[in-house]
Chain A
Amino acid sequence: MITIVNYGIGNLGSMLNMFRHIGVKATIESDPVIIQKAEKLVLPGVGSFDAAMNNINSIAGLRDVLDYKALAERIPILGVCLGMQLLTRFSEEGKEPGLGWIPSRTCRFPKHTNLKVPHMGWNVALPNKPNLLTKQLSDNSRFYFVHSYYVKVDDPVHSIMRTHYDIDFDSAIEKDNIYGVQFHPEKSHKNGMQILKNFSLI
């Protein structure tokens, strides 16, 4: 059973819908007491870094439960889009520190007139090492992206997919039980389904 964390940000229905479509049991939960019992977690998110971190930190007990599940109990966790950026230590977008579960930071795309920000549309995410999350994905797997900031891991060993948009950035990251994808699997058809299916089997 996959638990999708509802901390007041993001449209979770689409994520739930895709899990249902691939035959994987999933629920949306906001109560930390119930999240405490989760077997696997998905951390979604859209919008601003600070708003998201503030929400997580202000729901009584939620931050503690998440840290516990991630770092002590070490269940599989998947951060999606902004959810992946929250896994980093900090973001150039905001002031709040991130969850810091994977040594990395969130950076702004370079500013020049030729580059349209946000990075929005379908782009290729190239798996760069064998990994449970990216099994059966081809080298030119396309996914739907929409983000204005990108993640840069401290240690390349934690980067599992790379994407090119003016620069090369980490479009999927992993450290032990914690995973993050910058794109939206729930809006990426078959490739998105493969990612979610792989996650459900971890």
Chain B
Amino acid sequence: MLSKRIIPCLLLKDHRLVKTKKFKNPNYIGDPCNTIRIFNELEVDELILLDINSHSNNHEINYSLLKDIATEAFMPMSYGGGIRTLDQARKIFEIGFEKIILNSLIFSSPSTVKKIVDEFGSQAVAASVDYKHNFFNKKNYVYINSGKINTGILVLDYCKNLMNLEIGEIFLTSINREGTWSGFDIETIEKIEKNVNVPLIAHGGCGSSEDIKTLLKLDICSLGIGSLVVYSKKDKGVLINMPNRFNV
């Protein structure tokens, strides 16, 4: 039986780990290598690392830092942030990451995405889909560039179209709920899960073990947790931790 996937999602900005709220106001969390070393000590099953600065000018993927980070982990890790070319993807795999996460590239150059999938296999490529709720028409739209640009595409349509690119899984983040401890956007997650044929990693809003249990009960077996693993409690001090696997 495949284990349920409860995946810590960490955000990288320059040489530091940070945590945002609704994709804004990055708060300093600590050292990337040490934090991943801690998660390795805790034997987490897998981990996601995203560089949130990848849309700033002159951004270059920090291969040297990623190499330092990769050598801290004896579990599979995924990296996303600024991957635009086949060559960059190759370098990330060579460094030791199991999977890459593509976001803006899917929107700007699906043909490059296809090339990457063809070369490395669909199981090595995930699509990151960030969406925001429009409170006027009550619809969810996909945003790219770290939540700054509205593509105008409905999240359900976007995810359905992703199936054509043969990516291996979808990392779905609710921008409204990210960093808020208010619980997952279950309605949207369930709707998308029914309409795609790849694993869906639900992310954004997890505030407790109960939130995790709720999702697992709905047979959604992969989820990402952010604030829960870097803070001791909502609005309280930084503390790297992992909920007990057996409590969920």
Contact = CB atoms under 8 A, between A and B. Distances in A.
Direct contact of A and B (CB under 8 A): yes
A13 interface: yes
Contacts of B98: 146, 187
A174 interface: no
Given A13-B94, A47-B121, A187 B5 contact: no
Given A13-B70, A17-B71, A190 B43 contact: yes
Contacts, number: 69
Contacts of B168: 118, 120
A124 B45 CA distance: 13
B199 A13 contact: no
Nearest to B2: A121
B123 A187 contact: no
Interface residues of A, number: 31
A13 B230 CA distance: 28
Interface string A132-172: 00000000001010101000000000000000110000000
Given A120-B123, A190-B43, A144 B75 contact: yes
Interface in A86-142: 113, 116, 118-124, 142
Given A47-B121, A121-B3, A165-B2, A18 B74 contact: yes
Contacts of A11: 93-96
Nearest to B97: A11
A142 B70 contact: no
Interface in B91-105: 93-96, 98
B1 interface: yes
A121 B5 contact: yes
Given A47-B120, A122-B2, 19 more contacts: A13-B71, A13-B94, A14-B70, A17-B71, A17-B74, A116-B197, A118-B123, A120-B2, A121-B2, A122-B3, A142-B3, A146-B123, A148-B123, A188-B74, A189-B40, A189-B43, A189-B74, A189-B75, A193-B74
Interface of B: 1-3, 5, 40, 43, 45-46, 70-71, 74-76, 93-96, 98, 120-121, 123, 168, 197-199
